Amino acid sequence: MKPVRVLLLLLALLLAGLQYTLWLGNGGHGEVSALRQQVATQQAENLRLQERNGALAAEVEDLKSGEAAVEERARSELGMVKPGETFYRVVEDAPAGAATPAPTPAASP
């Protein structure tokens, strides 16, 4: 073979090896794409958690600074009432189809 053909063949093999590494190897295009997707997912989760933390911080500040929030919590979570107030509990009837099921007879052996 001519030396030029050998050189071209070696360069083609080198190019093929580099392309393999670029597309399929460790740190290649596929892995980078997967990592970008993970980063986007984590950023969305971080944003959601930051909003939740902001809401919780506002609620803590409201509980520290005013009586209205504390009173609301006492009424809703503890069922407390002020002196002179009358407490009414409204109980809704269960739908007709949601009645307790009849006991099933025991199977005989």
DSSP letters for 10-60:
HHHHHHHHHHHHHHHSTT-HHHHHHHHHHHHHHHHHHHHHHHHHHHHHHHH
Q: Is the pLDDT of residue 99 over 70?
A: no
Long-range contacts of residues 66-75, Cβ cutoff 8 Å, at least 24 apart: none
Reported as a single tens digit per residue, the pLDDT across 15-58 is 888 887 777 777 777 788 889 999 999 999 999 999 999 999 99
Identify which of 44, 22, 40, 43 has the alpha carbon closest to the alpha carbon of residue 31. 22
Average pLDDT score over the chain? 83
Structure tokens at 76: 């809703």
Rounded distance between C-alpha atoms, residue 100 and residue 62, angstroms: 44
pLDDT band, very low/low/confident/very high, at 98 (cuts 50, 70, 90) = low
Which sign, positive or negative, has the C-alpha torsion 8, 10, 12, 14?
Answer: negative
**Cα 80–Cα 86–Cα 87 angle in degrees, nearest 5:** 50
> What is the three-class DSSP state of 96?
helix
Q: Confirm whether pTM is higher than 0.75.
A: no
Which residues, in sequence order, are CB contacts of 75 under 8 Å at separation 6+? 81
The mean per-residue pLDDT over the stretch 2-23 comes to: 85
